[in-house]
Structure 1
Amino acid sequence: MQQKVSKTETLDADLLDLRAFCLVVDLASITAAARAIGETKGSVSRRITRLEQALGVELLRRSPRLVQATEDGLAYRLRVGQALELLEDARAAVQQAREKPSGHLRVTAPFDLGLSLLAPLSAGFAERFPEISLEMLLTEAFLDFDADQIDVALRAAASLPDSSLIAHKLQPLESGLFAAPAYLRKRRPPRRPEDLEAHRLLLAQTTRGRATLSFRSRDGLERAEVRVRAAIAASDYSFCREVALAGAGIALLPEVNVRRDLEAKALVPVLEDHVLESDATLFLVHAGTRFLPPKVRAFRDYLLDAFGARGRREPAA
């Protein structure tokens, strides 16, 4: 529902004019009011005159010894005082929200990255900002900010289309080939990309179980492109990781998904002399406005700090 804003002449008054008037009435003295707001007596007197001219009524009765509010002045003082209190409450609420963000925050992210990368970060964020309730929507679909009421999106892509949204680069998403030691004990580990054709591959997001993998040697001297077939294909990387942990084959996985497995030696890298070519990047995306809600700003800054990505901003989403 559209809010109507009054266009009466009283809104043309300077807030300092209104504050000065209230002080004059409360202190029954122009001199005392001027001292309270750090102005001259003449400046405060001109403020009162401006108000009276704008309203077309006499607000004060002035005498050498006394300043008193008229009947209209008393009524005006009451209503103006209430308005000034509301403005002060609004200012205090905004400042408090900035200092202590609160509210419900809806964030969308790819399923696999949400589990492996964002879950521990979300735990830290919730501890730092207990007044914010965080809702994570994990999906491979690009949800619409307006239709789906999204506050922040984490998106994995090579690039993002131009729009009014703001995107921050968090980090490149490098992928690799990984297998359980038990699998590699049963089969000779591949030494070249072409050797993958003799292995059981676990692949996500393929076209009918087939994919083309591009490699370059770490010294940059060789490149290879291999057309492979998945022994097991899935819609998400988490499933492929679990199958790889069970010793069923070599899985192509984002490195962020297997860091703990590598540390525990539950998985080991395959074809370490070669690098899978990928230009995918993890982006943080939010509305392109100068006045972000404090809860959005808090989440954005928390993740930018976590990824060491301050300043990597581009107007695309």
Structure 2
Amino acid sequence: MSRSGLIELEAVLAVGRCGGFRAAARELGMSSSAISQTVAALEARLGVRLFDRTTRSVSLSAAGEQFLGQIGPALATIRSAMEDVDQHRERPSGVLRLNAALNWARMILEPLVFEYLRRYPDMKVELVTEGRLIDLVAEGFDAGIRNAEALPPDMVAVPIAPTLRSVIVGSPAYFDGRERPKVPADLMKHNCVRARKPSGAIYHWEFASHGQAMELDVPGSLTLDEADLMRRAALDGIGLVWIVEDLVANDLASGRLVQVLDDWSPSYPGISLYYPGRRHAPAKLRAFIELVKEKSGQLDLRSQRV
């Protein structure tokens, strides 16, 4: 089979799996128009319509379902053979596509991504940040970095930071003339920088101490959806912030920020690299996995700001 024939089959499979040309294009690294033209060319050669198209949706026709059911296993065998051969490559090459929440991307950029590029000069890395948890396969990513407790159940997880801790911080200027909170309920008298989740809901601050846990919908004049913006608000004296300790470690050490309610600051499962477990990991991903395993437990994930 020609190379163009394989591309056509992969394109049809991707459109069927992703449910649309745009998502399939992202997965295959092609433009939507190129995917559409590739599928149309195969349909013309076969003389059947594989997809029913409307202005709003793309769905498999009966012929398309039968066709994908037959070519899917065959292409999986071909990909497996190619990946098995790829294991013999001395150095990985290509593009490693990673998806991460912005906070975690900042934390792993220098110790993992930069180190990976130094070790494997034939590699390129595309690191995409977004708040929502995505379907790695449908969106065309090799792996992602997220909170360990938020990972889909069908993924293989490799710990990057086994545990994280969140703290309540404010600037010395904010506390000037204000009494520092001694228990979480005292926060109801303070101006707090509220956090909005990717889902749109307001995050309730979490506390735990001596087996007692609680959540508070704290008051505040400012609502943000990104940790570095919250850090900036705290540094500027706007209010108190609930934030991952590693992101403000240098600010706490220098005295630019002050921590309160230390006894109530909880730890929780940290961040992990995760990837689909139902297929072989290519050499480029295996190399990154090995780097994560090598560095896990000894990474300094604190913000590098001064």
Other-structure match for 1:183: 174
Matched, 1:213 2:205: yes
Other-structure match for 1:273: 263
Structure 2 residue corresponding to 1:294, chosen from 279, 283, 286: 283
Q: CA deviation at 1:199?
A: 1.1
Matches within 5 A, 1:141-160: 141-156=132-147, 158-160=149-151
CA distance in 2, matches of 1:159, 1:109: 12
In 2, are the aligned partners of 1:183 and 1:247 still within 8 Å (CA)? yes
Other-structure match for 1:174: 165
Matches within 5 A, 1:56-95: 94=86
Other-structure match for 2:238: 248
Aligned length: 217
Cα 1:298–1:209 shift into 2, 3 Å: closer
Cα 1:210–1:100 shift into 2, 3 Å: closer
SS in 2 for 1:291: coil
Structure 1 residue ranges without an equivalent (≥5): 4-89, 310-317
CA distance in 2, matches of 1:223, 1:103: 47
1:88-120 alpha-carbon deviations (Å, 9 max, x no partner): xx99x84662x3122111000001221234344
Structure 1 residue corresponding to 2:272, chosen from 265, 278, 283: 283
Other-structure match for 1:47: none
Structure 2 residue corresponding to 1:194, chosen from 161, 169, 185: 185
Structure 2 residue corresponding to 1:136, chosen from 106, 127, 130: 127
1:125-159 alpha-carbon deviations (Å, 9 max, x no partner): 22122221111001112232233210111112524
Greater Rg, structure 1 or structure 2? 1
SS in 2 for 1:143: coil
In 2, are the aligned partners of 1:110 and 1:138 still within 8 Å (CA)? yes
Other-structure match for 1:230: 220
Other-structure match for 2:39: none
SS in 1 for 2:218: strand
In 1, are the aligned partners of 2:159 and 2:296 still within 8 Å (CA)? no
Cα 1:95–1:223 shift into 2, 3 Å: closer
In 1, are the aligned partners of 2:99 and 2:144 still within 8 Å (CA)? yes
1:45-83 alpha-carbon deviations (Å, 9 max, x no partner): xxxxxxxxxxxxxxxxxxxxxxxxxxxxxxxxxxxxxxx
Q: CA deviation at 1:227?
A: 3.4
CA distance in 2, matches of 1:117, 1:204: 22
Q: CA deviation at 1:268?
A: 2.1
SS in 2 for 1:147: helix
SS in 1 for 2:242: strand
SS in 2 for 1:284: strand
CA distance in 2, matches of 1:127, 1:204: 36
SS in 2 for 1:146: helix
Q: CA deviation at 1:252?
A: 0.6
CA distance in 2, matches of 1:208, 1:197: 22
CA distance in 2, matches of 1:109, 1:289: 21
Instruction: For 2:104, give the aligned amino acid.
Output: L
Instruction: For 1:271, give the aligned amino acid.
Output: L
Other-structure match for 1:304: 293
SS in 2 for 1:195: helix
Cα 1:210–1:228 shift into 2, 3 Å: farther
What is the TM-score when the length of structure 1 is the normalising length? 0.60
SS in 1 for 2:176: helix
SS in 1 for 2:238: coil
Instruction: For 1:281, give the aligned amino acid.
Output: G
Q: CA deviation at 1:290?
A: 6.3
Instruction: For 2:256, give the aligned amino acid.
Output: A
Instruction: For 1:302, give the aligned amino acid.
Output: L
Other-structure match for 2:41: none
SS in 2 for 1:183: helix
Cα 1:262–1:125 shift into 2, 3 Å: farther
Q: CA deviation at 1:256?
A: 2.2
Cα 1:212–1:182 shift into 2, 3 Å: same
